[in-house]
Structure 1
């Protein structure tokens, strides 16, 4: 199945944090992810990514490869990937093996989005063995990414210490007696919220995903830097950039506002060092916001495209015009899975994406 735009200006995709609302379990959140992946596949969304986070009670996506293997078993066509795997938390060989396995499970459907942040706080990053291994922090991200790509392609040069180390499943199987070369390998993306990864993605000729949903002020400068830095590669002849967009559509304006307030209060608590489950709309309404807290949630919600389907469509169209993004990846954070599912259905309806 090709990408079905309907009247959308570019492909629409999904970013899933596997959010856990108060009164719900991680098992329920993961079941919602399966339902959401199948629903958005039916409606012609292009790809479905999950993001690595740690030590956050309201986010159950600490193990993207595990979740993606489950989603691969419940879908047939939609691309699946990480948005992203936080590379400094892991040995490149391990990631190459995990995503080589995913590619074998879902041939031609796997994206490997790489980020250089820890996806958590400093103490948790240390527990992940990120900060107590010299030379393996975020500053070494370009070297780590290059090593990972070498493992995926199985092309370390002669004399390299890893020449005889192979990521399996991977290309080495084709060079073994009786081996058959797979026509696919995971597509590597670089993720970022600043100019660092934008410039690196451009110089390597890789597709780039920008986190507009939490770094909106940097979006246009980062995309300009990516395009200016781009050098054609075997993977891409021209730059390709998607942006993550926080979005929530509901049948009524007031309901959309109630739902986005749950995500805003959750983010407020996270930024205050008190991460928890995503609160209910009622809890978000009752919360005694201080003036500073009110300013934070208002500023946060100003970058969330929310409202009725027509209003959301207009907001997404305007964002596309302003950024020139090649793809919009929508992240709908709310307390209930039902609200998230409904949001994507309404957006699909607004753009005329026909049910399969």
Structure 2
């Protein structure tokens, strides 16, 4: 076997095509892989080791695992997958293509180091990366003093002075969610202007609004203490809420004709995603997607659930394919002269009739 080709092997050491290659080893990918491995499918997960929430201290809203460090959660998932016979390869997928012919080999996946995987199906859960506004210091405080999701980080900053960087009208809707968590919320206008209705809402809820733009952050001993405005004024803040722009990692799918599309909310582009139907179905037969690669706002729990759903759907697809092949093979056997004209003995026919009658069936 070519050393660069990674394949599963049958019980007798005969190379065989993998059932599923999973691209991305986050909550969606590992959950989907576990569902497939529990269904006795041969599964390999390829993980580039860049979890979107790596900067966060803990993952939240995931029942029984609330607050678990992101990498610890993934390590637990890897161990679970290994227990069911699945494999994780550390590496990055750089290309995916469809193989010619009608055989079970449908996809070929190439890794950056030259390794090649062949499979019947693909589950893409490669996630997304967050693009941030061009304000000095945001990236360094990302996941700590700079946060983006009130459901992911809200409890941890409750009651503190929270600033909201208003980069679009969506920021104003999110401001009211942050106001639920603190009485001290200040909106810093950074390219967006509230509507008259929103001005009234902020006044009624005690939300302060200041003209920006933001020019940087004030940090002391590694902790955020304020937002510095272009005019020099500093808005005191222990947390800065920023809407990121999620951009999916999907360039390797170009060879399959699958391209990301813009995601719009209230007429504003908020990121990109791979279009998908129920259970992560795509326009490419045999390829399903789950997690942030198709739903940029999905949290850990919803990503994991989507991975299980897509994995189960792929298993059903493969079962249908296996069954169709088995039926075709049976028909081919039954249509052969030996099958059509093979006589049955009278004893065999009588036994069949008696057995059917005993079970209340027709012979």
> Do the structures match in fold with TM over 0.5?
no
Larger strand percent: 2
TM-score for the superposition, normalised by structure 1: 0.27
Q: Which has the larger radius of gyration?
A: 2
TM-score for the superposition, normalised by structure 2: 0.27
